């Protein structure tokens, strides 16, 4: 099949008479790397469907999440001041977030107990993910403010992103696509079970 960059229909030799296949639409000026490989699950996030409409706790997914069941909310572990939840739009397989229950936006607003538990939960999360997925390393960090890249700037959250040497393969480099090979619910169940086994606490 001849590849076109117009979105017009093109002939598909060998597919039979009178058969036409629509070529992938390509907008003139768009980066070539984005022409053919897609991550449609991200469009929900990019389109703003699950983004809070304002900065209030009522609209905040990190405030409303703990009000739901752990499996539904993708919560892996509940602590005293903070909890661990799967990232709904992960950068990588096993991407976790550590969030305080309180609706605060800045690390300087966290109390000493919150800072201590966020640190402890981060360390435990790394150990649990290592036992389940065997990553070669991690990215840890907090984006403070929208200008710094925080998707939900109104509620403090720490990213825990497992990394493997094979991350830099052709999919993210050429296709600008990050494959996530396991469903989030399955990841949550595995991580919650491993967390429970490690700490002796229920992961449900």
Q: Residue 57 is encoded by which pair of tokens? A: 């706790």
C-alpha radius of gyration, the chain, whole number: 21
DSSP string of 169-194? SHHHHHS------S-HHHHHHHHHHH
d(CA 132, CA 9): 47
Catalytic positions, written as ranges: 157
Phi, psi (deg, nearest 5) at residue 11: -75, 150
8 Å CB contact between 26 and 46: no
Give 82's strand partners: 100
8 Å CB contact between 91 and 135: no
92 annotated among ligand-binding-site residues? no
Give 96's strand partners: 86, 160
103 annotated among ligand-binding-site residues? no
Annotated binding-site residues read: 87, 159
Annotated binding-site residues for substrate read: 87, 159
């Amino acid at each position: 099949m001849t590849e076109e960059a117009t979105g017009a229909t093109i002939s598909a030799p060998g597919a039979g008479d009178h058969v036409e296949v629509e070529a992938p639409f390509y907008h003139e000026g768009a980066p070539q790397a984005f022409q053919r490989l897609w991550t449609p699950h991200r469009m929900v996030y990019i389109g703003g469907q699950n983004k809070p409409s304002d900065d209030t706790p009522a609209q905040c997914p990190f405030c409303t999440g703990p009000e739901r069941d752990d499996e539904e909310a993708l919560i892996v572990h509940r602590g005293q001041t903070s909890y661990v939840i799967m990232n709904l739009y992960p950068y990588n397989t096993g991407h976790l977030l550590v969030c305080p229950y309180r609706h605060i936006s800045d690390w300087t607003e966290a109390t000493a107990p919150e800072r201590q538990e966020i640190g402890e939960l981060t360390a435990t999360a790394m150990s649990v993910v290592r036992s389940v997925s065997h990553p070669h390393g991690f990215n840890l960090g907090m984006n403070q403010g929208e200008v710094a890249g925080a998707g939900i700037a109104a509620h403090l959250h720490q990213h825990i992103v497992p990394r493997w040497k094979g991350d830099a393969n052709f999919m993210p480099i050429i296709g600008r696509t990050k494959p996530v090979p396991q469903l989030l619910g399955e990841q949550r169940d595995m991580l919650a079970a491993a967390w429970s086994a490690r700490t002796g606490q229920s992961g449900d």
